[in-house]
Structure 1
Amino acid sequence: MHEMSLCESILDILKDRAAKDRFKQVRRVCVDIGPLSCVEPDALRFGFDVVMKGSLAEGAVLEISRPPAEALCLSCFKTVPVRQRFDTCPECGSETLQVTSGEELKIRELEVV
């Protein structure tokens, strides 16, 4: 379960930001997880609670957003929604899609004190 190591990386980021921005506690962490990121939201939520225990983010709420995945069709040059890699273009049927969003895992917002 690589989500545990992702949570450890999130904690490292929180510690770095706390040192730079001088906050003591994290109350809420909002993350974007793209549907093509290979991150399981429920596993990340479980790992978050475990990893944050005893840290500046203990008890913090993890809010997960799932932005849609999109790709640029290299045949008709339209940006189209995709559900998985190797989808075909819903506009022209082409198989030449370049993913432009949906692979991200990023911290979008923090609530701190």
Structure 2
Amino acid sequence: MHELAITQSIVEAVTQRLPDAQVTRVCLVIGKLSGVSVPSVEFCFGPTTEGTALAGAELQVEQTGGRVRCRHCGDEFPCDDLLAVCACGSVELEVIAGQELLIRSVEVRNHV
């Protein structure tokens, strides 16, 4: 399950960037063509954050749709499956969107 390693990397990146902050929410963007299972990341998030500044933080995931361009005819169209065929019959497709995997934002508790 590579989602465990991905989730651990997200937690490490946030804790390295915000070492003294109490994190309350992490917002991710995961593309539908990224090969990353959103339910698996959500499942791994809680256990991965235990004992860190992210413990108890909410995980919010926005999933973006895919988009491809046909290398044969140049047509672009939405696509959420890498096993797709262009209307022209070509399977030579270039992914132009939907492979994102990024931390969009992190919210922290305000220390007053």
In the alignment of these two chains, the number of paired residues is 109
Identify the residue that residue 85 of structure 1 maps to in structure 2: 82
1:78 CA displacement: 2.8
Find out whether 1:41 has 2:35 as its counterpart: no
Identify the residue that residue 30 of structure 1 maps to in structure 2: 27
Q: 1:99 aligns with which of 90, 95, 111?
A: 95
State the 4+ residue runs in structure 1 displaced beyond 3 angstroms: none
What amino acid is the match of 1:102? G
Mind listing any 5+ residue stretches in structure 1 that lack a counterpart?
A: none
Identify the residue that residue 68 of structure 2 maps to in structure 1: 71
Task: Give the TM-score normalised by the residue count of structure 2.
Answer: 0.87
What amino acid is the match of 1:15? T
Identity %: 35
Root mean square deviation, CA, Å: 1.5
Residues 33 and 65 in structure 2, CA contact (< 8 A), matched pair in contact too: no
Task: Give the TM-score normalised by the residue count of structure 1.
Answer: 0.86
In structure 2, C-alpha distance between the alignment counterparts of 1:89 and 1:109, rounded to whole Å: 35
